[in-house]
Amino acid sequence: MDEADQQALTGAVVKRHNLDLAGLWLDYVALGGDASEQEIRDYCSGTVCLPEKDRDALSQAINEHCAGADLSVRAPFSDSPLARVHAKPQDPYSSK
């Protein structure tokens, strides 16, 4: 996955679930992350980049939190495929 896509999607998950970044940062550090709490805040807002290792550690921390809270949307990893949904145009007058 492209770094910018991973960053945007991760920030969207944090925002959607209104996740506590201070708590996530502690979990991220426990997983081996090296960035400061402010750098994590800036990354989630899209203003700084992080190395792949740190992006994936943050995604892991977010996903563990989401799993514990039974939240369905998760943060992607750097090796996650970015799937495209190809929807067929639907007839607006169809009942299907």
- What is the pTM assigned to this prediction? 0.83
- What sign for the dihedral angle of Cα 70, 47, 1, 24? negative
What pLDDT is recorded for position 94?
A: 52
What distance, in Å, lies between the first and last C-alpha atoms of the chain?
A: 34
Q: What is the pLDDT along the chain (96 residues), one digit of tens a residue?
A: 899 999 999 999 999 999 999 999 999 999 999 999 999 999 999 999 999 999 999 999 999 999 999 998 999 999 998 765 555 555 556 555
Residue 75: the pLDDT is 95
